[in-house]
Amino acid sequence: MEAISKNFFLFLSNNKLLDRFAKRFGARFGADKIVGGETFSQAIPLIQKLNRDGLHVTVDHLGEFVNSEVEARERTHECIESIHSIAHHELNSEVSLKLTSLGLDINRDLVMENMKLILEEAKKYDITVTIDMEDSTRCGDTLEIYRELKEKYKNLGTVIQSYLYRSEEDLQALNECQPYLRLVKGAYKESGKVAFIDKEHVDKNLKRLIKTNLVNGHYTAIGSHDDAMIAYTKEVAREHGIPKEQFEFQMLYGMRNETQKELVKEGYKVRVYLPYGEDWYGYFMRRLAERPANVAFAIKGIFSK
The CATH number that applies at residue 184 is 3.20.20.220
Whether residue 100 lies inside any domain: the answer is yes
CA dihedral (21, 24, 27, 31) in degrees, to 10, reads 40
Whether residue 203 lies inside any domain: the answer is yes
DSSP code for 31: G
Whether residue 255 lies inside any domain: the answer is yes
**CB half-sphere exposure, 164, CA atoms < 13 A:** 23
Residue 183, pLDDT above cutoff 90: yes
* 182 has catalytic annotation: yes
Terminal Cα distance for the chain, rounded: 31
Residue 38: the pLDDT is 84
- Residue 168: count other Cβ atoms within 10 Å of its Cβ: 15
* 53 has catalytic annotation: no
The mean pLDDT value for 158-171 works out to 98
Residue 290: the pLDDT is 58
Rg (Cα) of the chain, in Å, rounded?
18
Global pTM? 0.86
Domain of residue 171 covers 55-268
Whether residue 22 lies inside any domain: the answer is no
* Interatomic CA distance for residues 73 and 151, integer angstroms: 24
Whether residue 92 lies inside any domain: the answer is yes
* Interatomic CA distance for residues 212 and 199, integer angstroms: 20
- Annotated catalytic residue within 138, 182, 256, 271: 182
Span of 61-70, 203-212, 240-249, 253-262 with lowest mean pLDDT: 61-70
Whether residue 176 lies inside any domain: the answer is yes
Per residue in 102-131, pLDDT tens?
Answer: 999 999 999 999 999 999 999 999 999 999
Whether residue 274 lies inside any domain: the answer is no
Per residue in 252-292, pLDDT tens?
Answer: 898 889 999 999 999 999 999 999 987 766 666 666 665 55
Whether residue 48 lies inside any domain: the answer is no
The mean pLDDT value for 140-147 works out to 98
How many structural domains are present in the chain?
1
The mean pLDDT value for 73-90 works out to 97
Residue 19, pLDDT above cutoff 90: no
Residue 278: the pLDDT is 76
Residue 193: the pLDDT is 97
Contacts for 41 with CB less than 8 Å, ≥ 6 apart: 85
